[in-house]
Structure 1
Amino acid sequence: MPSFIAITYFLTLTGLALYGAHRLKMLVLYWRAASRPEPVPPPLRWHPKVCVQLPVYNEPLVVEALLDHVAALRWPDEAWEIQVLDDSTDETTAIIEGWLAAHPQAARRVSHVRRARREGYKAGALREGMARTDADFFAIFDADFRPQPDFLERMMPHFAAAEVGVVQARWEFANRKRTLLTRFQAVFLDAHFVVEQTARAASGLFFNFNGTAGIWRRTALEDAGGWTSDTVTEDLDASYRAQLRGWRLVYLHRYAVPSELPENLIAFKSQQRRWTKGGVQVARKLLGTVLTASLPARIKREAWWHLTIGVVHPLLVTFSLLFVPYLWFAADQLGTWWYLANPAIVLLAGGAPVAFYVAGQFLQRREWREGLMWLAVSPLLLSFGLALSVTLCVAFFEGLLSNGGEFVRTPKGGRRVRAGGLLARMRSRTFFAAITCAEMLLGAVLLGGAVYFGLRGHGELAAALTLKGGGFWAVAWLSSNDLWPSFWLKPAEPTGVMNAGT
């Protein structure tokens, strides 16, 4: 048994180190890309018809602001329209109708599309919208995005090249500094949007449309097979199919569209669960096709790392389960060579992701103070990512064993989400309750190890285990706060004194 634990621990850490090394590769590709001037598109000499699609499902807290911003876009009146693809089952529909009634001039270009059934979820709604228009291009915005008036003017010139099928803007987060949770999310997502997307796009590698804040050429989307709902990340799926057909995607990392980060941990977990599950489904669906296609080897290699990134989460859960048993009675099973190799492997597995995330913060704004601050708290950042691995490990196996599934939206609207009862109506509450229990169990194992080693004078091990175990318990506590708010909220104080004789 000790040998089995030691070998499994070694393989797990080696797997994490390989994905860590890939993070460093992304940083190198980004540095190369950053040294090149951004391509300047030709002057805008044409105004093809653009359909702005707004897929909406139960978004009462943010839909009015979305409509306000989209209605302010600048484009010739005769060359654009708006589709509100509304599958809502709550008060969102009435809010949209009220907005249209209050803005009759803007309403003239708006089609409020309602479907009898939410078939195909977001992909189905987008497909339905395409069938209702002859537009040549489709700009897509999720409900929490706030495009600036120049969005179409800045994006459309890049379609002057006939092979360009998609132009994607970078996501920015208006509430990134609202809470510690939104700060952590911003660090993780900036690494993707600032470093990864820029590196892949500038290096001629496959990358993906991000589902919103981008524009599709109709012929590219139709040539790729259109929107399909056999994965829950229809954006990633369509992007790879289009690139396999020879279409080129353009990423504008210097032009950003503001959006909102979820301010509830359960909402964030729900978003990450869908992205991980869908990524695995796309890997199952398309990775074999990519690897056997007539493509350069470097594109195939990067597609492998990109589409299999979900493997990291089972590795992290395995690491959490094995760390204490390995330290207890298997640390001497791998021989002297392991003591020489272990520091380098640990550095790649843990240090490379830290460099990746911290660099994402510095590279975005060139602020040394921000980067150094995140470097100082990087152990907390790693603990938070480790604790999220339980949710994403389950999502990995969901994607491995199923096709499609319900498109579970991410509730938006700041902390008002809980007050409005939107989280309480999530169908996956039981799922996240079970995940919270698993997080508490893993945290208990790690904290028990911290006590054991602390009592035996191994302070450094006790500190590391306390940090990791505390991360699991912190995430579990925040999750329970969202799942069962009535348990944590104090009863309201009486607002007045009853009259005598009442």
Structure 2
Amino acid sequence: MNPLDLLFSLSFVFLVMFLTYTTLIIVPFVRRRRAPEGDPRAFEWHAFIPCRDEATVIAETLKRTRELSPDMHVWIIDDASVDGTGDIVSAVAATDPLVHAVIRRLPDARTGKGAALNAAYRGLREWRAAREDGVGDDRTIVIVLDADGSISPNALRQAVGPEAFGSPTVGAVQVAVRMSNRDDPAPLARRGRLAQRWARYLIRMQDIEFRTTIAAMQVLRMRTVSVGLGGNGQFTRLSALQDAAIGQGTPWGDALLEDYEVGLRIMLAGYRTVYAHDAFVSQEALPSARRLLTQRTRWCQGGLQCARYLPRIYSSRAFTNAGALEAAYFLAIPYIQLIGFVLWPAVGIAMLVSGALAPGGLLGWMVASAWIVPLWVLTGILPFASWPLVYVLREERQPLWRAAGWGLGYWLYMYQSYVCVLRAFGRTLVGRRGWTKTRRNAEAGRLLLAAES
């Protein structure tokens, strides 16, 4: 086999893998049924909200979270904020016994989201140890929310349904994610029309991504028993967190993808994780390409760090064979994309060169090879462009004609993953693993106005 044949064979294998995985996630997603609900009153609820300079949003988030249940405990972890977040939280905690302020200070603070959540975990265990009443650890549920998170009213009922915490084998539940600003007509303050359109495009693409592609991956994982947890809208049993900490010291690790990592630890401890698509948490989408790439680079690098769990996954009896394969494929995606970054341009160049050297000239080769164009559309564009169609038919109920424009836009949007993969590998190679906070939109807007004034 010559190098050209090897190149084409490798590209064919990668293409088959991609199309197979796309089919495997889209079919169960469009066929899924609504999950039954349960009674949340039999459980004790604690919400962990890590904060770092969140003064613009934390008061409203705290109010919304307390309204979920009259007995909801809210643990606000102030990670050495400099904008007064700690003062706001401490003032509320002084008057409300269900609000707990976890104040972290430098140099121990700002070491990652996992470390902040572990601080609240230790505080919760100490608080429970001092009590003489309360439900057991298996009926104590910890919710992880972003500082701008807003959870749906039915989330607690969905979380305790018979397919979720109603089953004693379930250790964690992840709800769906939606973008709260997806219909904001002017997401950028004091910016021109073109900038506003660009921001609206980015926001809509993130909403499509989370509510279709990522959600479909989770629905498939329900069948492979390998649902991944997210950093927002994550529900866990306290007993599962305790078991996940055995041998580790803490439930959350130091990976930049601490949410997926804690899910792996919970599954390795023998629990199932499930996905509840009929409940959701809302969060802000990022209207800035720079901030989006920073966020996704951190996620990608965190996935690279979580690859160290693969030997434990494949040797664990807690994982199904399908679950181990799914986890391995997910953790291998950055490596596949890195290869694809070189492979696909190389295939294109090789085809052009072979056409130029073929008898009959380049024009004759182009006519004879016209079939490549529809093949490229069917295998390279349609798998991405089909998700907005699912979005308007099943999720957002938008006019059908929008799916066409959004389909092309979503195909182009997904190329940002190649940029993030390169950045993630670059950061890994030079030893950069610091956790970079994604600024809230209100905070970014305030900084922009300050810079312009």
Q: TM-score, normalised by structure 1?
A: 0.71
Change (3 A) 1:81 1:37: closer
Change (3 A) 1:296 1:130: closer
Matched, 1:184 2:212: no
In the alignment, the residues of structure 1 paired with residue 52 and residue 411 of structure 2 have an alpha-carbon distance, to the nearest angstrom, of: 33
In the alignment, the residues of structure 1 paired with residue 211 and residue 227 of structure 2 have an alpha-carbon distance, to the nearest angstrom, of: 15
In the alignment, the residues of structure 1 paired with residue 183 and residue 347 of structure 2 have an alpha-carbon distance, to the nearest angstrom, of: 33
Give the equivalent residue in structure 1 for 2:159: 155
Give the equivalent residue in structure 2 for 1:143: 147
Identity %: 19
Change (3 A) 1:56 1:331: farther
Contact 1:200-1:206 at 8 Å conserved across structures: yes
Given residue 232 of structure 1, which amino acid in structure 2 is its aligned partner? Answer: L
Change (3 A) 1:245 1:112: closer
Matched, 1:286 2:286: no
Give the equivalent residue in structure 1 for 2:68: 73
In the alignment, the residues of structure 2 paired with residue 291 and residue 333 of structure 1 have an alpha-carbon distance, to the nearest angstrom, of: 48
Give the equivalent residue in structure 2 for 1:114: 104
In the alignment, the residues of structure 2 paired with residue 316 and residue 177 of structure 1 have an alpha-carbon distance, to the nearest angstrom, of: 34
In the alignment, the residues of structure 2 paired with residue 342 and residue 12 of structure 1 have an alpha-carbon distance, to the nearest angstrom, of: 16
Matched, 1:413 2:449: no
In the alignment, the residues of structure 2 paired with residue 148 and residue 377 of structure 1 have an alpha-carbon distance, to the nearest angstrom, of: 26
After TM superposition, give the deviation of residue 9 of structure 1 in Å: 6.3
In the alignment, the residues of structure 2 paired with residue 292 and residue 331 of structure 1 have an alpha-carbon distance, to the nearest angstrom, of: 49
Query: For 1:208, which of 228, 233, 248 is the aligned residue?
Result: 228
More displaced stretch, 349-358 vs 260-269: 349-358
Give the equivalent residue in structure 1 for 2:411: 382
Matched, 1:373 2:394: no
SS at the partner of 2:96?
A: helix
Given residue 183 of structure 2, which amino acid in structure 1 is its aligned partner? Answer: K
Contact 2:46-2:73 at 8 Å conserved across structures: yes
SS at the partner of 1:216?
A: strand
- Which residues in structure 2 correspond to 1:275-354 (within 5 Å)? 275-282=299-306, 284-294=307-317, 295-318=319-342, 321-322=345-346, 325-326=349-350, 328-331=352-355, 344=375, 347-354=378-385
After TM superposition, give the deviation of residue 260 of structure 1 in Å: 0.9
Change (3 A) 1:318 1:97: same
Contact 1:5-1:326 at 8 Å conserved across structures: yes
Given residue 332 of structure 2, which amino acid in structure 1 is its aligned partner? Answer: T
Give the equivalent residue in structure 1 for 2:136: none
Given residue 98 of structure 1, which amino acid in structure 2 is its aligned partner? Answer: I
Given residue 114 of structure 1, which amino acid in structure 2 is its aligned partner? Answer: R
Contact 1:276-1:392 at 8 Å conserved across structures: yes
After TM superposition, give the deviation of residue 403 of structure 1 in Å: 8.2
Given residue 383 of structure 2, which amino acid in structure 1 is its aligned partner? Answer: A
Given residue 309 of structure 1, which amino acid in structure 2 is its aligned partner? Answer: I
Change (3 A) 1:247 1:382: same
In the alignment, the residues of structure 1 paired with residue 357 and residue 338 of structure 2 have an alpha-carbon distance, to the nearest angstrom, of: 23
Post-superposition Cα deviations, 1:463-501, rounded to whole Å, max 9, x if no partner, equal xxxxxxxxxxxxxxxxxxxxxx97xx7xx8xxxxxxxxx
Given residue 36 of structure 2, which amino acid in structure 1 is its aligned partner? Answer: P
After TM superposition, give the deviation of residue 234 of structure 1 in Å: 1.2
After TM superposition, give the deviation of residue 313 of structure 1 in Å: 2.9
After TM superposition, give the deviation of residue 171 of structure 1 in Å: 1.1
After TM superposition, give the deviation of residue 321 of structure 1 in Å: 4.5
After TM superposition, give the deviation of residue 183 of structure 1 in Å: 1.0
After TM superposition, give the deviation of residue 40 of structure 1 in Å: 3.7
Give the equivalent residue in structure 2 for 1:39: 36
In the alignment, the residues of structure 2 paired with residue 63 and residue 375 of structure 1 have an alpha-carbon distance, to the nearest angstrom, of: 38
After TM superposition, give the deviation of residue 173 of structure 1 in Å: 1.2
After TM superposition, give the deviation of residue 37 of structure 1 in Å: 4.7
Contact 2:77-2:120 at 8 Å conserved across structures: yes
Post-superposition Cα deviations, 1:121-172, rounded to whole Å, max 9, x if no partner, equal 1111111111112353311111120235664455345423221111222111
After TM superposition, give the deviation of residue 104 of structure 1 in Å: 5.7
Given residue 362 of structure 1, which amino acid in structure 2 is its aligned partner? Answer: L
Change (3 A) 1:391 1:44: closer
In the alignment, the residues of structure 1 paired with residue 103 and residue 230 of structure 2 have an alpha-carbon distance, to the nearest angstrom, of: 23
Query: For 1:392, which of 379, 399, 421 is the aligned residue?
Result: 421
Give the equivalent residue in structure 1 for 2:82: 90
More displaced stretch, 244-253 vs 110-119: 110-119
Given residue 444 of structure 2, which amino acid in structure 1 is its aligned partner? Answer: V
After TM superposition, give the deviation of residue 364 of structure 1 in Å: 1.8
After TM superposition, give the deviation of residue 318 of structure 1 in Å: 2.1
Given residue 147 of structure 2, which amino acid in structure 1 is its aligned partner? Answer: A
In the alignment, the residues of structure 2 paired with residue 5 and residue 384 of structure 1 have an alpha-carbon distance, to the nearest angstrom, of: 30
In the alignment, the residues of structure 1 paired with residue 370 and residue 43 of structure 2 have an alpha-carbon distance, to the nearest angstrom, of: 64
SS at the partner of 1:132?
A: helix
After TM superposition, give the deviation of residue 279 of structure 1 in Å: 1.4
SS at the partner of 2:165?
A: helix
After TM superposition, give the deviation of residue 303 of structure 1 in Å: 2.1
Given residue 419 of structure 1, which amino acid in structure 2 is its aligned partner? Answer: R
Given residue 114 of structure 2, which amino acid in structure 1 is its aligned partner? Answer: A
After TM superposition, give the deviation of residue 39 of structure 1 in Å: 3.4
Matched, 1:130 2:103: no
Contact 1:86-1:114 at 8 Å conserved across structures: yes
In the alignment, the residues of structure 2 paired with residue 214 and residue 394 of structure 1 have an alpha-carbon distance, to the nearest angstrom, of: 27
Matched, 1:261 2:289: no
Contact 2:178-2:282 at 8 Å conserved across structures: yes
Change (3 A) 1:5 1:68: farther
Post-superposition Cα deviations, 1:228-275, rounded to whole Å, max 9, x if no partner, equal 434211111111222233201122101112211112111111111111
After TM superposition, give the deviation of residue 224 of structure 1 in Å: 1.9
Matched, 1:60 2:70: no
Give the equivalent residue in structure 1 for 2:131: none
In the alignment, the residues of structure 2 paired with residue 13 and residue 204 of structure 1 have an alpha-carbon distance, to the nearest angstrom, of: 26
Number of aligned pairs? 409
In the alignment, the residues of structure 2 paired with residue 408 and residue 334 of structure 1 have an alpha-carbon distance, to the nearest angstrom, of: 52
List alignment gaps of at least 5 residues for structure 2. Answer: 129-139, 185-199, 360-364
Give the equivalent residue in structure 1 for 2:220: 199
After TM superposition, give the deviation of residue 345 of structure 1 in Å: 7.0
Contact 1:52-1:139 at 8 Å conserved across structures: yes
Matched, 1:223 2:227: no
Change (3 A) 1:356 1:9: farther
Q: TM-score, normalised by structure 2?
A: 0.78
Give the equivalent residue in structure 2 for 1:479: none
In the alignment, the residues of structure 2 paired with residue 155 and residue 25 of structure 1 have an alpha-carbon distance, to the nearest angstrom, of: 25
